[in-house]
Amino acid sequence: MNARLAPAWALLPDYLGQHVLLSACALLLGLAISLPLAVAASRSAAVRWPSLLIASLIQTIPSLALLALFYPLLLALSAVSLAVIGHGFPALGFLPSLLALTLYSMLPILRNGVAGLTGVDPAIVEAARGVGMTDRQRLFMVELPLAAPVIMAGVRTAAVWTIGAATLATPVGQTSLGNYIFSGLQTENWVFVLFGCAASAGLAMAADQLLGLIESGLARRQRWRIVTGAVGLIVGTLAALAPLASASLGVGAVRYVVGAKDFSEQYILADVIADRLEHGGASVLRKEDLGSTFAYDGLKAGEIDTYVDYSGTLWANILKRTDNPGRQAVLTQLTAALKQRDGVIVLGSLGFENAYALAMPRAEAEKLGIHSLDDLAAHAGQLTLGADLEFLSRPEWASVRDAYGLKFKRQAEYQPTFMYRALTSGQADVISAFSSDGRIAADDLVVLSDPRHALPPYDAVVLVSPKRAGDARLIGALTPLIGKISVDAMRAANLTVDRDQDKATPAQAAKALEAKVGP
């Protein structure tokens, strides 16, 4: 057990530090906005109803969606600011996470602030006016002190929500304790998932207790409670941030950002790339669990320096092409088009394809006599399709569906790990699989052939951001990988991470893969 916990512990200083930084900033910003707003709202019904309504509406947006929505918004704002003042800003990572969590923290503070301030006994307000206090003196000498315990209760709620929701910042490229949960879910590393949950719950509970101490100190007018709680919060925050500060002050000038999408192969390849860069003396920051378009847009904008994508994905989703001129032609045209359009460098194919394919259990395929997608079309009406969360909304699906006239009895979407589970448990008959997935062989699945070439080829390609196009160190470190990874080697590496027994971490799988690739 200890051997499985060790890799999790090793990541904790970075993840926890980033998580605390994000949550603390969001909470402070939320306080700075919500408190004055609560004061204004408590004095005027014209401010009160709209602000409470908007804050409640924000709360109804699922937090993951709220985080994701800030990305296109910031991207557009960044483009505007680039055009107007000549400087853009990053649309991925810290900023969208901060803004979304700030909005998320506002409702409890606002609501309790208004309740606390309007709940002050009218006789006391009249007395405050009667003795000749100005509006400001009344607020600071009477109303805020009396409302403070109620306001603090709101701050506690906001802190717990913010710390919990900060785990969802991972998919928009902000490292947090959510990295344990997202990558653990992808690689079925339940130790990681539990570790991430426990760490974020522990953090939330610690913050809640310290804020609770301040709250009870305010209510009972006991200064020692307030001081102890405040000192605890400050010391805890600084202790969590210390590793970040030493990391940013330490090692060399060059710091590369390596991106990864949210599945095992991506983690492994990101680790391979990171290892090579670190071996060359550079320091590396990983941004993992990115959604498909976040990854490419982030690279284009220079927020990510390099990551691995797939030719067909870029072909269909970025270039919006629906034709299929063949594996080599796609690669050649893609390389030229991305360079010309976005300045993005396609360094080359790693040597294997990870194609979208439809797969089904061998026994069932043989029983029904299904070998190709044409055969599948004839039986689709009795079958259920299990797809990953992206597949059904991607252009590739539309082109396969239309080319073969596929019409399934039912379609269900799963997170990839659970998609395979659904297939083995019989809840799905056919799934959208990746051809380099180790589970195809492990679960004895057959990949259905595509005689009409409706699906484009999916060569794994190394992309380099326009910003690093002339970076000899980066390109020199990555070029030796081109053409060196066979589909069998990749499949084997993926399987060591994805299988149930004797699991390896992506970092361990990367080391094993590097040994096969050579220097």
Binding region for other proteins (CB under 8 A): 121, 123-134, 137, 141-142, 145-146, 221
Shortest distance in whole angstroms from residue 153 CB to other proteins: 17
- CA-CA distances (angstroms) from residue 451 to 283, 304, 455, 490? 46, 37, 10, 25
Backbone region of residue 405 per phi and psi (left: phi > 0; alpha: psi in -120 to 50; beta: other values): left
CB nearer to other proteins: pick between 129 and 407: 129
Q: How far apart are CA 71 and CA 60, in angstroms?
A: 19
Q: How far apart are CA 478 and CA 465, in angstroms?
A: 13
Per the document, the length of the chain is 519
Q: How far apart are CA 25 and CA 30, in angstroms?
A: 8
Strands 255-261 and 459-464: unpaired
Shortest distance in whole angstroms from residue 111 CB to other proteins: 22
CB nearer to other proteins: pick between 124 and 242: 124
Structure tokens at 396: 């590739």
- CA-CA distances (angstroms) from residue 11 to 91, 263, 351? 25, 18, 31
Shortest distance in whole angstroms from residue 110 CB to other proteins: 23
CB nearer to other proteins: pick between 134 and 328: 134
Identify the residue whose tokens are 């913010």.
Answer: 162
CB nearer to other proteins: pick between 120 and 446: 120
CB nearer to other proteins: pick between 121 and 502: 121
With a CB cutoff of 8 Å and minimum separation 6, the contacts of 172 are: 67, 68, 70, 71, 92, 93, 96, 97, 290, 291, 294
Closest to 373 in 3D by CA, of 394, 409, 397:
397
8-state DSSP, 429: S
CB nearer to other proteins: pick between 1 and 123: 123
Q: Give the rounded distance of the alpha carbon of 128 from its chain centre.
A: 51
CB nearer to other proteins: pick between 133 and 482: 133
Shortest distance in whole angstroms from residue 142 CB to other proteins: 6
Please spell the DSSP secondary structure of 250-303, one letter per residue.
SS-S-EEEEEEESSHHHHHHHHHHHHHHHHTT-EEEEEEEE-HHHHHHHHHTTS
Instruction: Give the residues across from 388 on adjacent strands.
Output: 414
Q: Give the rounded distance of the alpha carbon of 277 from its chain centre.
A: 23
CB nearer to other proteins: pick between 120 and 207: 120
Structure tokens at 256: 């590369």
- Does residue 353 contact residue 330 with C-beta atoms inside 8 Å? no
CB nearer to other proteins: pick between 75 and 148: 148
With a CB cutoff of 8 Å and minimum separation 6, the contacts of 149 are: 116, 215, 216, 218, 219
Shortest distance in whole angstroms from residue 41 CB to other proteins: 22
Shortest distance in whole angstroms from residue 120 CB to other proteins: 10
Shortest distance in whole angstroms from residue 131 CB to other proteins: 5
Shortest distance in whole angstroms from residue 39 CB to other proteins: 18
Burial of 182 (C-beta count, 10 Å sphere; 0-12/13-18/19+): buried
CB nearer to other proteins: pick between 122 and 518: 122
Structure tokens at 335: 């390389």
Shortest distance in whole angstroms from residue 122 CB to other proteins: 8
Structure tokens at 476: 């020199």
CB nearer to other proteins: pick between 39 and 193: 39
CB nearer to other proteins: pick between 3 and 45: 45
Strands 384-388 and 410-414: parallel
Shortest distance in whole angstroms from residue 134 CB to other proteins: 5
CB nearer to other proteins: pick between 129 and 410: 129
CA 376, 382, 386, 390 torsion-angle sign? positive
Buried b (16+ CB within 10 A) or exposed e, 62-72: ebbebbbebbe
Residue 452: phi, psi to the nearest 5? -95, 5
Shortest distance in whole angstroms from residue 208 CB to other proteins: 24
Shortest distance in whole angstroms from residue 40 CB to other proteins: 20
Shortest distance in whole angstroms from residue 128 CB to other proteins: 7
